[in-house]
Structure 1
Amino acid sequence: MFSALLPMFLFAVVSAREAKEGEVPYQASIRTENGHICSGAILDKKWILTSARCLMRIRRREVPYVVVGTNDVTAPGTSFPVETIHKHPNYISYKHDIALVKVNGTIKFNDKIQPVQLPERNTKPEVTMLYSGWKGPSDSYRTNKLLMRNVTSIPSAECQKQLGPHLERDQICTLDNDAYRKGQDFFDDKGGPIVEGSKLAAIASVPRRKNVASVHIRVYEVLPWITVTRDPDTIVH
């Protein structure tokens, strides 16, 4: 019914700004009773894709849940208890920093809640993408509203010059676009979706400030794991 909405995910943002309600309908907030932990991307009616490292922030006695359908990180939105968490089997610190969260319940789609499309190829260098998320406790110019800003993919060789030679196959590096006003535009929201056109290109892993390369996880490179985790009976060739 709502598949016709998907082309509306095509963005052209020249500076960071607050997202309008329903403008990033695939955005999810993973929370505990102590507030927002990290962002995620809605894949379907049961599954959220996010950062494995971010989920490590959840303390033993905290109960995580997923909120969708709101741009305000303090608003209740539509919430679902977390049924299971599946970290990538090769996750170690910053490597393979990706996880799937299965909700207890069924996410119903509408004009403010939609799944994002999975990619059909890897993102090339020099591509402008949209990164969305919320500001965290360490960010300046705090706001409860969902923010969005452009980032540009850079060649792996350029990233390695900044960060060293050890770049995994499933990692992609980006730089913030030059138009941003430093701290006012910056947000460090791990697990946040990074979209190329209407496709989920990456999940935010290590966002960094302007002129320093950020490192994220390429969704295309982990598609076989995503497929098998969501449906263990699937045969991946």
Structure 2
Amino acid sequence: MRSLGVIVLCSVLWLTAAHPKQDDSGRIVGGTEAAPGSAPYQVSLQGLFSHMCGGTIIDRQWVLTAAHCAILPPKLVQVLAGTNDLRSGGKRYGVERFFVHSRFNKPPFHNDIALVKLKTPLEFGEFVQAVEYSERQLPVNATVRATGWGKVSTSGSVPRMLQTINLRYVPYEECKRLLEDNPAVDLGHICTLTKEGEGVCNGDSGGPLVYEGKVVGVANFAVPCAQGFPDGFASVSYYHDWIRTTLANNS
């Protein structure tokens, strides 16, 4: 049985052991451009004004993201909110501190979730809004929505405009089977899969997976990219208590 390689999806950090198909259309694979204001909770985490990862606004001063996105000192990272266009509009906010799950990468790829505390509160409006984080598990075959500025391959470029795609939730046991019992997957993950040619890729990391108006997942990893295998997201319901406790103890 062959071993499937997975990549974490940050633009500046990736691990790969596969040979992805090359496609330079420059977006979430198989997605479309998101309408202005359709994902006001989506932000871009940026280092030196360059997109690294996505994130989700869950409070005026808090953003949910992936732990592997918190690789630079906070003083070198800014959060861009309020725009779908990486080159125009929105406002940048400084980062006060990253709160990374204490069990991140123990074992590898597990507990890949973090919170970002901003130096100043976000200015809410039509294009900047918080989204609730879900406590409930997803129903089988639920249609979920992913957004991000991710590439279509590890060698592609980051798109200028935010992309969106609808994906299908894949239950844990089915995900494990499809990924050939890859140890990257555990009960703390949500998996999605529609078909080959649709999914997330580098640069989508940390971004939201949304179901019925609530964030249910945080983009973590993929078999690069959209090759007909499930993508992995940190399960927000699984980490709900960690999120709630971290916010309560540090606000």
Q: TM-score, normalised by structure 2?
A: 0.78
Q: CA deviation at 1:125?
A: 2.5
Number of residue pairs aligned between Structure 1 and Structure 2 = 214
1:1-237 alignment to 2 at 5 Å? 16-56=31-71, 58=72, 63-75=76-88, 77-92=90-105, 93-136=108-151, 138=154, 140=156, 143-163=159-179, 164=181, 166=183, 167-175=185-193, 177-178=194-195, 182=197, 187-188=201-202, 189-208=204-223, 209-232=226-249
Q: Structure 1: where are the runs of 5+ without partners?
A: 1-14
Alpha carbons of structure 1 residues 148 and 51: separation in structure 2 relative to 1, 3 Å? same
Secondary structure, aligned partner of 2:63: strand
Mapped contact 1:139–1:187 kept (Cα < 8 A): no
Higher mean C-alpha deviation, range 103-112 or range 120-129: 120-129
| Relative contact order higher in (CA < 8 Å, ≥ 6 apart) | 2
SS at match of 1:158: helix
Are the counterparts in 2 of residues 38 and 55 from structure 1 also a CA contact under 8 Å? no
Q: Distance in 1 between matches of 2:120 and 2:109?
A: 30
The one-letter code matched in structure 2 to 1:90 is R
- Residue type of the alignment partner of 1:202: G
Deviations 1:132-152 (A, max 9, x none): 000348364753000000111
Q: CA–CA distance in 2 between the matches of 1:71 and 1:134? A: 9
Report if aligned partners of 2:74, 2:96 keep a CA contact under 8 Å in 1.
no
Tell me if structure 1 keeps the 8 A contact 2:100–2:114.
yes
Cα separation, 2, equivalents of 1:87 and 1:120: 20
Instruction: State the one-letter code of the partner of 1:158.
Output: E
Deviations along 1:65-108, whole A, 9 cap, x unmatched? Answer: 11100101233521110000000111114100000000000112
Q: How big is the alpha-carbon RMSD for the aligned residues of Structure 1 and Structure 2?
A: 2.4
Q: State the distance in 2 between where 1:82 and 1:67 align.
A: 11
Worse-matched range after superposition: 105-114 or 202-211: 202-211
> Would the alpha carbon gap of residues 61 and 112 (structure 1) be closer, same or farther in structure 2, given more than 3 Å must change?
closer
> For 1:155-195, what per-residue CA distance to the aligned partner results, in whole angstroms no more than 9, with x for missing partners?
211211132164322111111x34x8x38x75431011000
CA distance change for structure 1 residues 61 and 52 in 2, over 3 Å: closer, same or farther? Answer: closer
- Unaligned stretches of 5+ in structure 2? 1-29
Greater Cα offset, 165-174 or 89-98: 165-174
What one-letter code is carried by the residue in structure 1 that aligns with 2:82?
G
* Residue identity matched to 1:224: D
Say if 1:34 and 1:66 are closer, same or farther in 2 by CA, change over 3 A: closer
- Report if the CA contact (8 A) 1:37-1:55 is conserved: no
Structure 1 equivalent of residue 24 of structure 2? none
In 2, distance between residues paired with 1:232 and 1:191?
22
CA contact (8 A) 1:82 1:102 kept: yes
- State whether residues 171 and 217 of structure 1, in contact with CA within 8 Å, keep that contact through their aligned partners in structure 2: yes
Identity of aligned residues (%): 29
CA offset at residue 206 of structure 1? 0.6
1:3 is matched with which residue? none
TM norm structure 1: 0.82
